């Protein structure tokens, strides 16, 4: 579908969201008085952990957003849907009875997932142009 990125685009969106959330965690450590070396360590270590634990949620979320939004041309709807689906991890952990502070910490995930999906909007535009060229040449 020309309204969604291809598989590579979704992988890029997921990686951007992981990078954004990891950076937010590292910046939060700096704001709380940490030093730069610790922030870089946190960025790398948490980045790896977030990458690993986000994969199941990303797989489900990507499929949901793709199926729900594939016929909607407005990319802002796709970005908002990705942010909404990003609430899943916080809801899952809250349902499991995890600490409220941890769940509040996870509230940054919807923002990160929306930024990730927003980062691939230019790929969708490029895909639309590429798919429209053969149709124009045939008519």
Place of tokens 């041309």: 73
- pLDDT for 130 equals 85
The angle at the Cα of 16, spanning 14 to 19, to the nearest 5 degrees, equals 110
- Per-residue pLDDT tens over the stretch 41-90: 888 888 898 899 889 989 999 999 999 999 999 999 999 999 999 888 77
- pLDDT for 60 equals 93
Q: What is the pTM of this model?
A: 0.83
Band (7; pLDDT cuts 50, 70, 90): very high
Torsion sign across C-alpha atoms 90, 91, 92, 98? positive
Residue 11 reports pLDDT greater than 70 = yes
Q: How crowded is residue 27: how many other Cβ atoms within 10 Å of its Cβ?
A: 14
- pLDDT for 1 equals 66
Q: Which residues of 79-116 are buried (b: 16+ CB within 10 A; e: fewer)?
A: bbbbbbbbbbbbeeebeeeeeeeebeebebbbebbbbb
Mean pLDDT of the 28-36 span? 80
Of residues 107 and 71, more confidence is placed in 71
- Per-residue pLDDT tens over the stretch 117-138: 999 999 999 988 888 876 554 5
Chain centroid to Cα 91, Å, comes to: 16
Whole-angstrom Cα distance, residue 66 to residue 5?
Answer: 9
């Amino acid at each position: 579908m020309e309204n969604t990125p291809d598989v590579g685009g979704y992988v890029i969106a997921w990686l951007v969201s992981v990078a954004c959330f990891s950076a937010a965690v590292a910046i939060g450590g700096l704001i709380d008085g940490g030093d730069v070396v610790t922030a870089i360590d946190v960025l790398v270590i948490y980045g790896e952990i977030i990458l690993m634990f986000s994969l199941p949620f990303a797989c489900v979320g990507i499929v949901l957003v793709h199926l729900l939004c594939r016929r909607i041309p407005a990319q802002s709807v796709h970005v908002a849907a990705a942010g909404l689906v990003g609430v899943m991890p916080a809801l899952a952990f809250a349902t499991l009875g995890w600490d409220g502070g941890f769940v509040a910490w996870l509230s940054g995930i919807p923002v990160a997932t929306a930024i990730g999906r927003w980062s691939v909007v230019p790929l969708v535009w490029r895909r639309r142009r590429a798919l429209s060229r053969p149709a124009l040449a045939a008519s």
